[in-house]
Amino acid sequence: MLRTLRRTCFLVFWAIGVAQCSEQASPAGSVASQASSAAESVQPNYVIQVGDQLDIKLFYNSELNEQVTVRPDGRISLQLANEVVAAGLTPEQLRETLIQTYATQLKNPELSVIVRTFASQKLFVDGEVSHPGLLNLVGPTRVLDAISEAGGVKATARTQEILIVRRGGPKPEVLKINLKHLLEAKYADEDVMLRPFDVVYVPKSHIANLNQWVEQYVTKNIPVTFGIYSNPF
């Protein structure tokens, strides 16, 4: 009897201990989940754009330090380096390019590239939205965010086939998004993080296209008298 009582007490205390450990572990799990979510919102390395202002600082040759603005042709002008393409490169890629360029003239061309001011980052929302046009890209922005900022979709939108046109490679990349899926929690991962100069295009529904076709080819091209009943006798 005594042995049974001890065993029961042990099991009770063990269960309480496990419960306390799980409660203590849950915040850590929550932190890990938040970290994972934050990692998903991190955009790729910043790419230098036309209009960005850059600080070029050489560690051992400060007389060559310069502050330059990326010109409309994507280039910057520097002492000794002359014309250098900057737009389309990350700061680290530009740094490596400049080190190689200066290496032919300087003994130790260690330098840093600092983006001092950023050109306005924008994306374009077009098609069946209330307010199509350019949007400023401020902070992490997903498809739903952009469509919401554009006033939402119209009743004529084909929400199952929203297109994201992404430039930057040899050919534009086209992503197809189902807006109805994005509104369901289980498809939340499909809400794509947008990048500068993305185009979000919301096409018309099949019914809307049919109405447009009727308006263009029937109403405008067929004479009005064709639809008026006349007695042939």
pLDDT digits (tens, 9 = 90+) for 124-182: 999 899 999 888 877 788 999 999 999 999 988 988 889 898 876 677 788 888 888 87
Q: Which regions of the chain carry the CATH code 3.30.1950.10? A: 53-117
CB-facing half-sphere around the CA of 51: CA atoms within 13 A: 5
Residue 214 CA: distances (Å) to CA of 119, 127, 155, 198, 202: 45, 20, 18, 32, 21
Residue 82: per-residue pLDDT: 83
- Which amino acid is located at 141 in the chain? T
**pLDDT tens sequence across 199-221:** 899 988 775 665 665 565 555 65
pLDDT of residue 168: 66
- Smallest CA-to-CA distance from 199 within 139, 118, 129, 104 is with 129
Both tokens of 126, joined, read 């077009």
| Cβ neighbour number for residue 206 with a 10 Å cutoff | 9
86, 77 Cβ separation under 8 angstroms: no
Provide the 8-state DSSP code for 159. Answer: G
Residue 43 pLDDT more than 70?
no
Identify the weakest region by mean pLDDT among 19-23, 64-68, 70-74, 221-225: 19-23
pLDDT of residue 18: 40
For the chain, residues classed under CATH 3.10.560.10 are 122-215
CATH fold group of domain 53-117:
wza like fold (3.30.1950)
Residue 100 one-letter amino acid: Q
* 122-215 maps to CATH 3.40.50.2300: no
The tens digit of pLDDT for each residue in 67-116 reads 999 998 999 999 888 899 999 899 999 999 999 999 989 999 999 999 98
What is the structure's pLDDT at 37? 44
pLDDT exceeds cutoff 50 at 16 = no
